[in-house]
Every structure is written in structure tokens, then in C-alpha cells.
């Protein structure tokens, strides 16, 4: 191999491409959603299984190795279609706040992500039976409005060309005026944004991080400039957009890098074009952090000496409150206080 390091070439070719193998539950092999998704992976090797947990939940898996070459698992969701919003998640002032799991795991690899603590596998499970989710949402809508987050356990917008779930849910939301859906993302999927119809009860929420955080801890994610470009495209299309500076990762120079990120964001995006801003610091369940520390023994984020309080590890009330207060002051230079939502450690929400 002329002009190329042989060892480097071996390292690059050691793993199969992502989704080169797709596991399909027997019960949904004839589901139209399965056929649609498989049509987008014509070269994948298909493997039939009885239940997704036979692959996803097996013992002795290596999360980080699987991240380099994840498989796709197509399955049917049987129960627990909706969950009430957890205290560690912001509700943005919505009383009836729920989230749902359409996909388990994410194509990105952020060192602070709770998914690596929740699951033993880095493979991605896709529940194809969206019609059952719709029925459960409609039942709840009979009693009260619903604010529903679709994308806490994955990044749906990043997967849109492969799954098409965001389009399905936008269509569903347009038929139900008492439903508001939020799609949280770190993607820069301008192609998807350009093809999706906008709806006034759909919110696209971008998580933005300083460049140092993105480069060091948000592996495989697009840089800040690309996310900002995608936000601008979404706004031009007529989407309602939320900006989330959450989680803020502590370092000695975090105020300077955070301030630079906020200034850059609202230097390119008119502040009055976003509906609101979310601010929060890193926090994680005790059980999740235990597994994360095992998976990433050399990570500065997982090994930080957090304080424990009521089931959650965080920076401690004093430091957390100081960081949130300082971050809020920085954002308030551009966004009125009534449009800024804070996650408070002391209050649990």
C-alpha cells in the first residue's frame, strides 16, 4: 500500500459500516414501516429474531466497540408508549408533559449522554408500529392537551432520511391542535429540514455547545456552525425553533466559552426568531453514572467528583446554581427573562 500507513488502514477497515446488519422481529417482518426502512438499506444483511431483547439486552456487550459499528434492530413496541416527563428534563412550562421512545439509542456518541448508562448495548432499536403510538396519544388527548417530546432517547432528525418518523409525527400533529411535539436534535440535517412541512404545533429544539465541548466530548456530532446553519434553514421554512444550552459542562473557563457560543448564536440568528431558550447543567441518575464510569474510565466527564442528591449526581447545588445564574445573565443580553427556562438542582426542575 503505497503512501499509506498499513496499520492505519487495518484500523479503519476493522469494523463493518454502521447498519450493515439489521435484525428484524418476526412479528413485524411484514409491517409496512419495516419494508419502508429496509428499502433504504439495500446492502444490509437481514437477520430474523423473535424479540429485540434477544440481541439488545444480551450480556457481555461492549458499548464503546458497538458504537463503532452499530447494528439496527427493527421491533414492535408492546407497551409503555408514553411516559410522564422525568424531573431531570425541562417541561418548558407545560403542565401535561410526556415523552416517548420511538428509537432506543443515538448515532452520536456524546460522553455525557445518559443512554450509555441506560443501555448495555449501543445498537439502535427502531419501533416501527407508529400507529400504536398515535392511538395512545389520542386517548390522552381526550382528557387534556399534551406536550410530547419525541427525541430524548435518540436524535430523530439525524435519522430522518432513514426512518421518516419526523414527517409522520408532523402529519399527525397537524390533525391534533391540542398536541405539541418537540424534536430535540444536535444534527445539521439541512436536507431533511428542506423537505419537511412545518407546523405551528411542532418545535424543533437544537442543543448547542461550545466548540471545545463539541470537539472533545460530542463525538460524531456536527460543529456549532453547521447546527446554526440548520437552525437558520428551519426558521426560514417557518418552523418554531427552541435553542437549548443544556447540558452546560463545567470547566475552569466555561464562562468564556459559553459566552462566546451564545454571542455567536445570536449574532447569526435574530433572538426574536426563537420561541425560547433552555439552560441546564449536567446531571445524571446514580445508576446511569455507575455504568458510564465503567464504560469510559478515562473520561473527564464521567469521572468528575459529582455530588449526590435524591437519586441524581450533579455539580452540587452551590456550583450548579452559580453556573445557571451566570449562564442566564449571559443569555439575557439577547433573550428576555420570561423566554428563558432554567433547570434548577435545588428545585429538581
Q: What is the pLDDT of residues 313-329, one digit of tens each?
A: 999 999 999 999 999 99
Element (H, E) at 340: strand 340-342
What is the rounded end-to-end Cα distance, in angstroms, of the chain? 57
Cell numbers describing residue 329: 445573565
Cell numbers describing residue 99: 415523552
Q: Do residues 192 and 239 lie in contact, with contact meaning Cβ atoms separated by under 8 Å?
A: no
Instruction: Say what the alpha-carbon torsion angle 23, 26, 32, 33 is, to the nearest 10 degrees.
Output: -40
In sequence order, which residues have a C-beta less than 8 Å from that of residue 175 and are 6 or more positions away? Answer: none
Q: What average pLDDT does this structure show over 202-226?
A: 97
89 pLDDT band, cuts 50/70/90, is low
pLDDT one-digit tens code per residue, 241-286: 999 999 999 999 999 999 999 999 999 999 999 999 999 999 999 9
Cβ burial, residue 280 (10 Å; 0-12/13-18/19+): buried
CA 183 to chain centre: 8
Q: How far apart are CA 85 and CA 100, in angstroms?
A: 9
The structure's pTM equals: 0.91
pLDDT one-digit tens code per residue, 1-35: 444 444 444 445 566 788 999 999 999 999 999 99
The DSSP secondary structure of 292-308, one letter per residue, reads HHHH-TT-TTTTS--EE
Looking at residue 88, what is its pLDDT?
55
Looking at residue 343, what is its pLDDT?
81
115 pLDDT band, cuts 50/70/90, is very high
Amino acid at each position: 500500500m503505497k503512501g499509506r500507513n498499513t496499520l492505519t488502514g487495518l484500523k479503519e477497515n476493522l469494523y463493518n459500516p454502521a447498519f450493515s446488519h439489521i435484525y428484524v422481529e418476526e412479528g413485524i417482518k411484514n409491517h409496512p414501516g419495516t419494508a419502508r426502512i429496509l428499502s433504504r438499506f439495500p446492502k444490509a444483511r437481514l437477520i430474523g429474531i423473535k424479540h429485540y431483547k434477544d440481541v439488545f439486552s444480551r450480556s457481555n456487550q461492549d458499548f464503546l466497540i458497538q458504537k463503532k459499528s452499530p447494528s439496527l434492530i427493527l421491533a414492535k413496541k408492546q407497551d409503555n408508549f408514553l411516559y410522564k416527563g422525568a424531573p431531570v428534563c425541562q417541561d418548558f412550562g407545560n403542565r401535561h408533559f410526556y415523552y416517548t421512545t420511538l428509537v432506543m439509542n443515538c448515532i452520536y456518541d456524546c460522553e455525557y449522554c445518559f443512554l450509555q448508562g441506560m443501555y448495555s448495548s449501543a445498537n439502535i432499536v427502531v419501533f416501527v408500529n407508529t400507529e400504536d403510538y398515535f392511538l395512545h396519544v389520542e386517548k390522552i388527548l381526550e382528557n387534556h392537551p399534551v406536550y410530547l417530546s419525541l427525541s430524548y432517547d435518540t436524535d430523530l432528525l439525524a435519522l430522518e432520511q432513514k426512518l421518516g418518523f419526523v414527517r409522520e409525527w408532523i402529519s399527525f400533529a397537524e390533525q391534533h391542535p391540542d398536541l405539541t411535539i418537540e424534536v430535540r436534535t444536535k444534527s445539521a440535517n439541512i436536507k431533511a429540514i428542506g423537505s419537511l412541512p412545518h407546523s405551528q404545533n411542532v418545535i424543533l429544539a437544537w442543543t448547542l455547545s461550545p466548540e471545545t465541548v463539541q470537539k472533545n466530548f460530542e463525538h460524531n456530532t456536527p460543529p456549532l456552525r453547521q447546527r446554526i446553519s440548520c437552525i437558520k434553514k428551519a426558521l426560514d421554512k417557518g418552523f418554531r425553533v427552541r435553542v437549548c444550552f443544556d447540558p452546560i459542562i463545567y470547566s475552569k473557563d466555561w464562562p468564556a466559552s459559553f459566552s462566546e457560543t451564545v454571542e455567536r448564536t445570536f449574532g447569526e440568528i435574530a433572538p426574536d426568531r426563537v420561541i425560547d431558550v433552555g439552560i441546564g447543567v449536567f446531571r445524571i441518575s446514580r445508576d446511569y453514572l455507575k455504568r458510564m464510569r465503567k464504560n469510559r474510565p478515562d473520561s473527564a466527564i464521567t469521572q468528575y467528583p459529582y455530588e449526590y442528591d435524591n437519586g441524581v449526581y450533579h455539580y452540587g447545588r452551590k456550583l450548579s446554581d452559580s453556573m445557571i445564574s451566570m449562564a442566564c445573565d449571559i443569555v439575557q443580553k439577547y433573550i428576555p427573562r420570561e423566554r428563558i427556562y432554567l433547570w434548577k438542582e435545588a428545585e429538581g426542575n
